[in-house]
Chains A and B, each alone.
Chain A
Amino acid sequence: MRASAAAVWRFCRRKPLGAAGGLIVVGLVALALFGDRIAPYDYDETIAGARMRPPSARFWMGTDNLGRDVWTRVVFGARVSMTVGFGAVLLGTALATLIGVTSGYFAGGYDTVVQRVVDAWQAFPFLIIVLSLMAVLGPGRLNVILALGVAGAAGASRVIRSATVAVIGSAYVEGARALGCGHLRILARHVLPNVAAPIIILATIGLGSAILAESALSFLGFGVPPPYPSWGGMLSGSGRSYMYQAPWMALWPGLAISLAVYGFNMLGDALRDVLDPRLRGTTGGPIR
C-alpha cells in the first residue's frame, strides 16, 4: 500500500499534466457513480416555467427547450460516457489481447490468416464500421459497447502482437519451454505479464477514443436513445434548432466531452512515457 502510494506520488511529480488528466478521470467516475446524489433534479424532470433559462445561480448551466436542468443532464450524461467507454474498452482490450497474443505466440499459418483478417478489418474506417454495426444491432447502450469494442480491437491487437513477438524471443520464454511448460502456462505466466504495459496504455488512450466515438454515435442518433441524456445526444436532435436562442445548450455538453477525452489522453500519454517510451506517437487518430 505504501509502495503504491509512493509510486502514485512519483508519477504526479514527474508528469503533472498526466496527474491532472488522472484527476479529471477520477472526477468523472465520481460523477457517474454518485450522479443521483450530485444532480439537483431528475434527468428527465421538466421544471415548470423554466424553459430555456440562461445560466443562473439556480440553474448554473441553464435549462433546455423542454425546461430540463442542463447541469443535471451533464451529470447523468457522464454515466453513459463512462459505462460505454469502460465497457467498450474492456471488451475491445480483451479481444485484442486474445487475438494479438495468440497470433504473435503461435505464429505460422494461424498468424498469417489472423493478420489478413485484421488487415481487412482495419480497411473499414472506424466510424463507418461502427455505424454499420449499429444499423444491424439497433440502438441501445449494450449494442454501442459491442460495436465500439469489436471495431476497436483490430488496431490494438497489432500493437499487442508485436509486443508478444518481442517477448517470445527472450531467454526466459526459451527457458520455460526447455523446462517443459505448456503453451497455456507460458502464455499466462511469462507472456501476458510482460505485455501488460502496452495493454494498459492502449486501454487508457482507447478510453478517450471510445468516449469520443460514443458521443459521435449519439450525436448522429444511433447511440443511447432519449430521453436518457448522453453528451453527444444533447448536442443533436430536437435541441439543435433552439441553440440559436439558448447557446448554452450547445456549450456545456461539448465542453464535457472535450474535458473527458482530454483527461484520458493526458493520462494515457503520461502512462506511456513512464511505462513504455517505445510506443511514442501511437495516440489515437481522429474519430469524429
Chain B
Amino acid sequence: MSGYVLHRLVVAIPSLLIASFIVFALPRLIPGDVVQLMLEEQASGSNLDDLRATLGLDRPIATQYVEWLGRVVRGDLGESLWTKRPVLGELARRLPVSLELGLLAVCFSVAIALPVGILAAVRQDTVADYIARSAAILGLSVPGYWVATLVIVLPAIWWGWSPAPGFVDFRANPWGHLAQFVLPALILGVASAAALMRMTRAMLLEVLRQDYVRTAWSKGLRERAVVLRHGMANAIIPVVTILGLHVAQLFGGTVIFETIFGLPGMGLFLFDAISQRDYPVIQGANLLIVAVVVATNLLVDLLYAVIDPRIRS
C-alpha cells in the first residue's frame, strides 16, 4: 500500500513541474513583448529597458523560470498589476468560496447520478431507463449558464422573485450563506451528473452480466444485495475516475457561475484578471487550480486503493 502511494506521489511531481512551466510560459506566448503590453495597459511612462531589467526579462528563459519557481515555492506569487496586493493573499481569501461551491456541486451531482444510474441499469430498456437516458443527453447539451440565466430572469418576470444581491458571510448568517450556494451548485451539479449517470449505468450493466452476479442471484440474495454489494462495488471504480476528472472541470464552471451569481470566489477573481490582463493573478490562479486538481487526482488514486483490495496488494 505505501509503495503504491509513493509511486503515485512520484508520478505527480513531473506533471506539476511541467504544469508550472506552462503557467510560467503563458504570458510569454504573446507575439511581441509582455513589457510593452504592461506599459500600454498601465499607461505609465517608465523606460522599457528599466522594466525589463527589474522583471529579469533580459536574462535567459531557463534562469527566469528557476528564479520564478523559487519564489513560487516560497509562497511569493507576485502582486497584482492593478491592485498591487500580493496575489497569494487574495487567492487564499477567495479559494474557500469556490471550494464550497464545487463541493456542494459534487454532492448534488453524486446524489442525482448514482441513484438514477443504478435505477436505469437495473430497469434497462424500461420507461424509467429511457427517461433517465434522454434527460442525461439533454443535461450534456444544455449550457449551464443559459439555465442559470433563465432561472434568474423567468422567476423575476413571473413572480417578481430574484436572488438577493450581495454576498452573505457565514458568520453573519449561516443559513443565508449556504442558501446562496444552492442554486448555482445545483445547476453546476446537474451538468456533471449527466455524464456521471451514463457512466454508472454503463459500468453497472457490464458488471451485472458477470458470472459472480448470476451466482449471487442463484444463492437467493435479495435484489438490493446483488445490485449494491456485488454489482456497484465492482462498477464504482470508473465512476470514481469520472468524478475525479469532473472536479477539475467544475473549476471551469466556477468562473461562469461565480460571475452570474456574484459569488466572490476564485472564478470571479480569475475572470476579472483575464478581463484586465493581470498576468500575475492569472498565473497564480492557474497554479493554485492545477495544484488542487493534481491533489484531487492523488486523492482519487488513494480512494481506489481503499475501494479495491486488488490495487492494494
Enumerate chain A interface residues (CB-CB to B < 8 A): 116-117, 119-129, 131-137, 208, 212, 215-216, 219-222, 232, 235, 240, 243-244, 247, 250-251, 253-254, 257-259, 261-262, 265-266, 269, 280-281, 283-288
Stretch among B80-88, B168-176, B196-204, B223-231 lining the A interface: B196-204
The answer to whether B270 touches A288 (Cβ under 8 A) is no
Say yes or no: B252 contacts A128, CB within 8 Å.
yes
**Shortest beta-carbon distance, A135 to chain B, in Å?**
4
- Within 8 Å by CB of B249, from A126, A131, A257, lies A126
Considering only CB atoms and an 8 Å cut-off, how many residues of chain B contact the other chain? 64
Does B61 touch A at the CB level, under 8 Å? no
Q: Check A136/B252 contact, CB under 8 A, given A120-B19, A281-B203.
A: no
- B145: A residues at CB distance < 8 A: 216, 219, 235, 288
* CB of B92 within 8 Å of the partner chain: no
Q: Could you tell me the distance between the alpha carbons of A135 and B297 in the complex, rounded to whole angstroms? A: 27
Which residues on B are within 8 Å of A, measured CB to CB? 14-19, 21-22, 26-27, 29-30, 137-138, 140-146, 149-150, 153-154, 156-157, 188, 191-192, 194-195, 198-199, 202-203, 238, 242, 245-246, 248-253, 255-256, 259, 270-271, 273-275, 277, 279, 282, 285-286, 289-290, 293-294, 297
B255: which A residues are within 8 A, CB to CB?
A: 127-128, 131, 220
Instruction: List 20 other contacts, CB 8 Å, given A258-B146, A265-B137, A265-B140.
Output: A116-B15, A119-B18, A120-B15, A123-B16, A125-B293, A128-B251, A128-B270, A131-B274, A137-B29, A216-B143, A235-B145, A251-B150, A254-B142, A254-B143, A258-B143, A259-B141, A261-B142, A281-B203, A286-B140, A288-B253
18 A-B interface contacts by CB (under 8 A)? A116-B15, A120-B18, A122-B248, A125-B249, A127-B255, A131-B270, A216-B256, A220-B255, A221-B275, A235-B146, A243-B149, A253-B146, A254-B142, A257-B143, A261-B142, A283-B140, A287-B249, A288-B256
Bound Cα distance A135, B157 (Å): 36
Query: Which A residues touch B202, using CB under 8 A?
Result: 280-281
| B248, A123: Cβ atoms closer than 8 Å | yes
Would you list the 10 A-B pairs with minimal beta carbon distance, nearest first? A127-B252, A254-B146, A120-B18, A288-B144, A262-B141, A286-B191, A119-B15, A125-B252, A120-B19, A261-B141
Q: In the complex, what residues of B have CB within 8 A of residue A127's CB?
A: 249, 252-253, 255-256
Find out whether the CB atom of B282 lies under 8 angstroms from the CB atom of A285: no
CB distance from A288 to the nearest CB of B (A): 4
Which of B30, B138, B270 is within 8 Å of A262, CB to CB? Answer: B138
Residues of B within 8 A of A283 (CB): 140, 195, 198
Find out whether the CB atom of B274 lies under 8 angstroms from the CB atom of A250: no
Closest chain-A Cβ to B273's Cβ sits at a distance in Å of 8
**Chain A residues whose C-beta falls within 8 Å of the C-beta of B251 in the assembled complex:** 125, 128
- Which residues of chain B are within 8 angstroms of A235 by Cβ–Cβ distance? 145-146, 149
Contact residues in A for B248 (Cβ distance below 8 Å): 122-125
